[in-house]
């Protein structure tokens, strides 16, 4: 009975919201299932838990369901052989970023309200900027995987990533303010 009510509620959502929330729902599942070609397909119980959390996230994109779903996906990818450097990790990265962006945009308005095209464009631009880093980081990681890491590598990498995010934020903020 409750499932039927939920389906009726979803039918009342604006089509643009339905589309975004479908991306929210599918993103973690695609990211999780992308581990299969990398040699470590997810256990059925993990798929079930991620599906449940993804449904919660799609219904309430501002909830913590998405965080939990993505943390489970990340956990599963840490178990992938070859240090998770299989090309399928790029598929997972795209799925994670797209689902996160879809959740951010869909949470900005009630489900019955259409998505503002300007807001969608803004977040797609930001997502594209983030996704540009994924293949670069992947190629560097593949090239350096047999090298011993210096002690300060991870703090330096974290600082560099933080600086890039701040710089991109400033550039995008200035573009928004331009007439």
Whether residue 132 sits in one domain with residue 52 = yes
Range of the domain at 75: 2-140
163 plus 77 within the same structural domain: no
Q: Sign of the C-alpha dihedral, residues 17, 52, 97, 31?
A: negative
Model pLDDT, residue 111: 86
What is the number of domains present in the chain?
Answer: 2
Q: Please answer whether residues 32 and 72 qualify as being in contact, where contact means their C-beta atoms are separated by less than 8 angstroms.
A: yes
Q: Do 58 and 94 share a domain, yes or no? A: yes
CA dist 28 and 162 (Å) reads 24
pTM reported for the whole predicted model = 0.78
119 and 163, same domain (yes or no): no
CB contact set of 135 (below 8 Å; sequence gap of 6+): 90
Pairwise CA distance, residues 33 & 43, whole Å: 10
CA Rg value for the chain: 18
Verify that 19 and 56 share a domain, yes or no.
yes
What per-residue confidence (pLDDT) applies to 178? 57
Cα–Cα distance measured from residue 24 to residue 118, given in angstroms and rounded to the nearest whole number: 19
Q: 138 exposed, middle or buried (CB, 10 Å; 0-12, 13-18, 19+)?
A: middle
Predicted local distance difference test score (pLDDT) of residue 137: 86
Residues 31 and 79 in one domain: yes
- The total of other beta-carbon atoms located within 10 Å of residue 103's CB is 26
**pLDDT at site 1:** 58
In a structure prediction context, what are the per-residue pLDDT tens digits for the chain, which is 179 residues long?
565 665 666 677 888 898 999 999 999 999 999 999 888 889 999 999 999 999 999 999 998 889 999 999 988 888 877 666 888 999 999 999 999 999 999 998 888 889 899 999 999 999 998 899 889 888 888 887 777 767 777 778 778 888 888 888 888 776 656 55
Q: Are residues 76 and 157 in the same domain?
A: no
Verify that 130 and 160 share a domain, yes or no: no
**Do 69 and 102 have their domain in common?**
yes
Asked if 164 and 82 sit in the same domain, the reply is no
Q: Please tell me the predicted confidence (pLDDT) of residue 144.
A: 79
Residues 111 and 129 in one domain: yes
> Looking at the structure, do residues 95 and 173 belong to the same domain, yes or no?
no
């Amino acid at each position: 009975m409750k499932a039927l009510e939920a389906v009726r509620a979803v039918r009342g959502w604006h089509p643009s919201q339905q589309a975004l929330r479908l991306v929210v729902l599918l993103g973690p599942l695609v990211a999780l299932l992308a581990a299969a070609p990398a040699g470590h397909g997810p256990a059925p119980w993990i798929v079930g838990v991620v599906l449940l959390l993804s449904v919660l996230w799609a219904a309430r994109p501002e909830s913590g369901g998405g965080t939990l779903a993505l943390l489970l996906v990340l956990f599963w990818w840490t178990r992938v052989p070859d240090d998770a450097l299989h090309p399928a990790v790029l598929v997972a990265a795209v799925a994670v970023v797209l689902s996160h962006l879809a959740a951010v945009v869909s949470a900005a308005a009630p489900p019955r309200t259409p998505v503002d095209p300007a807001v969608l464009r803004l977040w797609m631009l930001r997502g594209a900027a983030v996704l540009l880093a994924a293949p670069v980081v992947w190629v560097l990681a593949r090239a350096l995987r047999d090298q011993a890491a210096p002690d300060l590598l991870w703090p330096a990498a974290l600082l560099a990533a933080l600086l890039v995010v701040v710089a991109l934020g400033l550039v995008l903020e200035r573009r928004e303010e331009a007439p």
